Amino acid sequence: MGERSGVRTEVDSFGPIAVPADRYWGAQTQRSLGNFPIGEERMPRPLIHALGLVKLAAARTNMALGALDRRRGEAIARAAREVADGMLDDHFPLVVWQTGSGTQTNMNANEVIANRANELLGAPLGTRDPVHPNDHVNLGQSSNDTFPTAMHIAAVRELHERLIPALEHLFAELEAKREAFADIVKIGRTHLQDAVPLTLGQEFSGYVRQVENGLARLRAAMPRLLELAQGGTAVGTGLNTKRGFAERFAAEVAELTGLPFVTAPNKFEALAAHDAMVELSGALNVLACSLTKIANDIRLLGSGPRCGIGELRLPANEPGSSIMPGKVNPTQAEALTMVCAQVMGNHVTVTVAGAHGHLELNVYKPVIAHAVLQSIRLLGDAVRSFTDRCIVGLEPDRARIADFVERSLMLVTALVPRLGYDAAARIARKAHEEGLTLKEATLALGLLSAEEFEALVRPEAMLAPRE
């Protein structure tokens, strides 16, 4: 290794290459920087941290199986822990758009950990001795099983630490609103036209159930995500690992994360297909549909303040217009629905990428990881923001809601069992065309007395099936 003007020389099977002297990465990472000048999307940090856990668990497993001496193994484990803890994020510069197996990023991790381990052992960077990136850090591993293992670990951790807690928070706040709004009778709307009454609490109960179902779908996808490919090595056979490596490795990851990871029962499937990630993306896609509906409903119900529906008063978080003074917009709903649009697009990407598992290896791993982890991150952040800055502060406009109920023509539906559909339609038509109330139109047509009308048309009695 030679150093000159802020660089050092590293070597791989292609020969020497100059690397920044203050970076832990080595030759293969540097070559990737030159070979893939594509976009700005770097490998997701949760994936890098998961790779740190993979290398830590592998070092422990290899030491336990007698494949790696303790001096090297402990140094690798310490360096890998620094990667897992985010302490070395600046040393992972590679973009998503690289080889489809993620080999460059796996080698980025191997090189960073090897150089940091050598530094811990008192050796200069770039020596590849006593710790070698391939022979020791990558011992018993291939990019083909390491990268999908990191994908699963990252996805599961992000679900548990970010998205599921955010959805549970939204669920609780929507449930609180459902209870608070249980006594507010309002007009329903179908086809964006007036319909029969329901309570605002009943309307919100639909949103509660959507979020509850979204959580259930994420949890239902979890068992397949908890299966780890590590131990399959290049094509699923486990070549160059020791017997028992896969099982012991999974147990190490479970201990490190506190999550019930297990070794995948079939390593050929785990390398060649990423159906578990496609399944998760599908659950995220459904969740995005649900959240779009909820956010759109809330901004419709909050439209106004004077010329819209205006049944809900949304929190005023910031000025809404650069030209219209005093305007306040439903910005949290807009942000959430934009996130949902991105998630839906990501699912298309993951679907296409997941379908291209050619023979023994899917070679769309980085873009699958990028899309799924972005969807989880965006949904987790947006859901929490929407909950805290919109749902928590929602208030009903009881007077406006009551006025809509009083003026609605669709209350005539309560007369159908007594008068029949055609007679009820005549009442609604007459009231609409002549600007009458339903009661006035009914009396004018001579179909009921005032007392009979008032006994039949009671919005509070139209909220459930009849006895």
Is there a contact between 317 and 332 (Cβ–Cβ < 8 Å)? yes
Q: Catalytic one among 32, 205, 290, 321?
A: 321
Residue 139: which residues within 8 A CB-CB, separation 6 or more? 58, 62, 67, 68
DSSP label of 44: P
Residue 137 per-residue DSSP state:
I
Instruction: Give burial (CB, 10 Å; 0-12/13-18/19+) of 312.
Output: buried
Hey, what are 5's tokens? 């003007």
Question: Catalytic residue at 191?
Answer: yes
The CA-to-CA distance between both ends of the chain, in Å, stands at: 88
Distance CA(46)–CA(418), nearest Å, equals 64
Q: Determine if residue 244 is left, alpha or beta; phi over 0 gives left, psi from -120 to 50 gives alpha, anything else beta.
A: left
Within the chain, how many helices (H) and strands (E) appear? 17, 11
**Three-class secondary structure of residue 63 per DSSP:** helix
User: How far from 403 is each of 187, 192, 253, 309, 397, CA to CA, in Å?
Assistant: 10, 18, 60, 11, 10
Q: Is the dihedral of CA 74, 78, 83, 88 positive or negative?
A: negative
- Residue 349, amino acid: T
39: alpha, beta or left? (left if phi > 0; alpha if psi -120 to 50): left
| φ and ψ at residue 356, rounded to 5 degrees | -105, 55
- Which of 91, 132, 143, 191 is catalytic? The answer is 191
The answer to whether residue 32 is catalytic is no
On whether the CB atoms of residues 333 and 299 are closer than 8 A, the answer is yes
HEC string of 151-212 equals HHHHHHHHHHHHHHHHHHHHHHHHHHHHHHCCCCEEEEEECCEEEEEEEHHHHHHHHHHHHH
The pairing of beta strand 227-228 with beta strand 262-263 = parallel
Please, are residues 103 and 62 in contact by the beta-carbon 8 Å criterion? no
- The two three-digit tokens of residue 11, written as one number: 């070597």
Which residues carry out catalysis?
191, 321
